[in-house]
């Protein structure tokens, strides 16, 4: 079957056999069952902003939107309420080998760059940048896969999961940086925000969350456990925008707040050079579990868990301005380097340049010796 070159054509049916329809048009190729059958499979290749807006708006179960290389400037939020299914996902991705940037600099004030309110979406290999407000937002998503994305220099949080029914989403290999909300003087823009909602089975892995005006990661008022692993947060909460009324916080991993009592799981992460704490409960009283994390050279404490029932094990805190981690009476602390009899292993490197370099070809974190110790029992493995 000849592939579309992305031009708009009037859709025409090429063949019908055994209940199967094949058509070409609207910048793509259509192959699927007729309405009395299962969900259709549609591939749409887009090369203009108008085609991109139309493809996202009109997506349905089984749609794959391939975006050719270039920078796209939507005039309005890329929005969809379409649902895929477990066997017929909706996919929005860069074409093979293409570098795609979706830029919000022409959006009206206060607009999100992308707002997906649907299930079983795969969004991958795209940069979302320069929105006047939120960068990429998935609301009440079930089964979403958000992979190898960049959310940069947006006017609020770079990447957000929110809403009740936010269930079984995977955020993998996200770089989210430089996000800053001028209207709030920096107090709201996080690298990734999982906020104002609920839902089980959500996981974040392989993220780098850095140089954002507020926190690297924020779980404010999200009432279900989230798993975070193999992710790094650094350089957050610093006034890089010369805002004389700057109010950014600057925690690496902020694990709650707003009355939530949630048992998040936080394993094998690292936080360094943040303007407040490396890891903090933020008044979350839930029985969180933090294992083999490293906090280095943060302005506050490495680990601040003063009020909740968190269990901290085999974590490493070194060189933070407040040298003692703040733990409350109900916090369980076992095998951390601040516990009696636990030695602090030496870092192989405190030069972060390799950790801040290019990701590997598959999108995973770069190889680094930064903050590694060679220990098999304590601290982040930095991979």
User: Residue 99 catalytic?
Assistant: no
Percent of the residues in the chain that have a pLDDT greater than 70, as a whole number: 90
CA distance 174 to 141: 17
- The count of other CB atoms within 10 Å of the CB of residue 187 is 16
Look over the chain and give the mean of its residue pLDDT values, rounded to a whole number.
Answer: 90
Quote the pLDDT of residue 40.
Answer: 59
Nearest to 292 by CA among 359, 377, 207, 208: 377
**pLDDT classification of 36: cutoffs 50, 70, 90:** very low
Q: Give the mean model confidence (pLDDT) for residues 138-166.
A: 98
The pLDDT tens digits of the residues spanning 204-248 come to 999 999 999 999 999 999 999 999 999 999 999 999 999 999 999
Quote the pLDDT of residue 242.
Answer: 97
Residue 174 has pLDDT above 90, yes or no: yes
Bridge partners, 114 (sequence order):
78, 136
Nearest to 152 by CA among 71, 83, 228: 71
What are the angstrom distances between the C-alpha of 63 and each of 77, 110, 114, 118, 298?
A: 19, 29, 17, 13, 45
Task: Look at the pTM and tell me if it is higher than 0.85.
Answer: yes
**pLDDT classification of 13: cutoffs 50, 70, 90:** very low
CA distance 15 to 1: 12
CB neighbour list of residue 317: distance below 8 Å, 6 or more residues apart: 278, 294, 295, 296, 301, 302, 303, 325, 336, 337, 338
List strand residue ranges (DSSP E) for 217-277, in order: 217-218, 226-229, 232-234, 253-254, 265-267, 270-272
The pLDDT tens digits of the residues spanning 94-143 come to 999 999 999 999 999 999 999 999 999 999 999 999 999 999 999 999 99
List the domain boundaries for the chain: 20-260
| 20-260 CATH choice from 2.160.20.10, 1.10.10.410, 3.40.50.720, 1.50.10.10 | 2.160.20.10
**pLDDT classification of 31: cutoffs 50, 70, 90:** very low
Helices then strands, counting H and E runs in the chain, come out as 1, 35
Nearest to 316 by CA among 348, 338, 334: 338
Quote the pLDDT of residue 232.
Answer: 99
Q: Choose, from 57, 99, 106, 254, the residue flagged as catalytic.
A: 254
CA distance 43 to 26: 10
């Amino acid at each position: 079957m000849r592939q579309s070159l992305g031009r708009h054509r009037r859709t025409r049916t090429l063949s019908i056999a055994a209940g199967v329809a094949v058509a070409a048009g609207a910048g793509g190729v259509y192959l699927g069952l007729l309405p009395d059958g299962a969900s259709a499979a549609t591939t749409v290749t887009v090369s203009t902003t108008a085609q991109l807006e139309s493809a996202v708006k009109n997506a349905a179960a089984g749609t794959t939107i391939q975006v050719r290389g270039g920078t796209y400037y939507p005039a309005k939020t890329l929005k969809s309420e379409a649902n895929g299914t477990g066997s017929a996902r909706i996919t929005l991705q860069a074409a093979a080998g293409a570098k795609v940037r979706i830029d919000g600099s022409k959006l009206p004030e206060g607009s999100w760059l992308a707002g997906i309110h649907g299930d079983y979406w795969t969004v991958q290999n795209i940069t979302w940048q320069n929105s006047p407000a939120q960068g990429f937002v998935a609301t009440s998503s079930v089964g979403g896969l958000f992979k190898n994305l960049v959310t940069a220099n947006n006017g609020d949080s770079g990447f957000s999961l929110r809403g009740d029914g936010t269930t079984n989403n995977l955020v993998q290999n996200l770089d989210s940086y430089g996000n800053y909300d001028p209207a709030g003087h920096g107090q709201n823009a996080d690298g990734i925000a999982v906020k104002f909602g609920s839902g089980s089975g959500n996981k974040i892995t392989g993220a780098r969350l850095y140089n954002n005006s507020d926190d690297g990661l924020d779980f404010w008022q999200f009432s279900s456990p989230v798993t975070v692993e193999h992710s790094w947060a650094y350089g957050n909460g610093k006034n890089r925008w010369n805002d004389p009324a700057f109010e950014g916080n600057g925690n690496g991993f902020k694990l709650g707040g707003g009355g939530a009592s949630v048992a998040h799981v936080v394993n094998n992460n690292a936080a360094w050079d943040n303007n407040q704490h490396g890891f903090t409960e933020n008044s979350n009283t839930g029985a969180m579990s933090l294992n083999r994390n490293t906090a280095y050279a943060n302005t506050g404490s490495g680990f601040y868990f003063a009020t909740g029932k968190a269990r901290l094990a085999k974590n490493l805190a070194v060189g933070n301005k407040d040298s003692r981690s703040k733990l409350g009476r109900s916090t369980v602390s076992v095998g951390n380097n601040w516990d009696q009899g636990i030695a602090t292993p030496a870092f192989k490197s405190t030069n972060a340049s390799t950790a801040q370099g290019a990701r590997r070809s598959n999108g995973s974190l770069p190889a680094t010796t930064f903050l590694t110790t060679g220990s098999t029992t304590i601290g982040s493995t930095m991979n």
